[in-house]
Structure 1
């Protein structure tokens, strides 16, 4: 009954015709108004007036919340990736520095022994013995990685300075120069980065 159009026997339709309405045309003086009657929405369920709008609004809020959570998750993943890259680079630099220190200690020990020196100027100028290494590992487990790297860097600098001053030796060039002038003019520098 609600789906079919109004007939001429309907009182409302008869009133519209008396005011000039013609079937199939729009309402109003210029006939630009609506043609079909406003559809009737039959409410299903027991929700009150405005329940559907509130339900739609909550669904939109949930979608917005999901978008925000997804954005936070992406930022956290990006941060974790960048953090991983920084830690990986730090670990690589630390391993490189520890390797350079070992090379320096080995070169220092060989050059000192060749010169007849039985005891190093500093105990850590030479490659540590097995017992010294165990003691060093026990203390390093308690240290922070950054503190360990700084200590390694300081030791490396001290040993390489000793080698350069005493033997005019550069571990990165892997040669002993003739003298101080030869070292300063032919060696690119006193760190690994200068030799790249």
Structure 2
């Protein structure tokens, strides 16, 4: 097997993706059941081109995902997540969440299916707060979960509309929260501000 050192200086070669090592940089955005969702960017600050790949280290194969034909040319923000459960299906989906122009905090999801090798443009949209963490998505039980600081978090099922997922609240002010999955269980950890008074 191959291993990539976690402690390094400078660029690290990924041994199981030789064909991708020519890219200027590769970021692993997400992993699901041995598949990696990766991103490579080229260009400058004014014109950045992002390419997305699904990589399988066990087979040493990868596939570049075509970008959806966006009906809105001037979208502001977009995020990419992956949904894959090998125990249920050999096919994966990529969710492209984009902000609706002229409607801040409103987003629409587009879904790519590896089964059909095509995109489906969703008719639904949903409004979220600015503190939702689209970049830190967690896939569990067929749904993409997005953590949201100080507010209800969201999950998205590719076949249904997104729904809020209430997180237990406390009276203490939250400083930071983290959402993750381990052995099929979704966990949320929270840290708080602590005020100490000396009398």
Give the TM-score of the pair, scaled to structure 2. Answer: 0.19
Q: Normalized per residue, which structure has more strand?
A: 2
Higher relative contact order (CA 8 A, sep 6+): 1
Give the TM-score of the pair, scaled to structure 1. Answer: 0.19
Larger Rg: 1
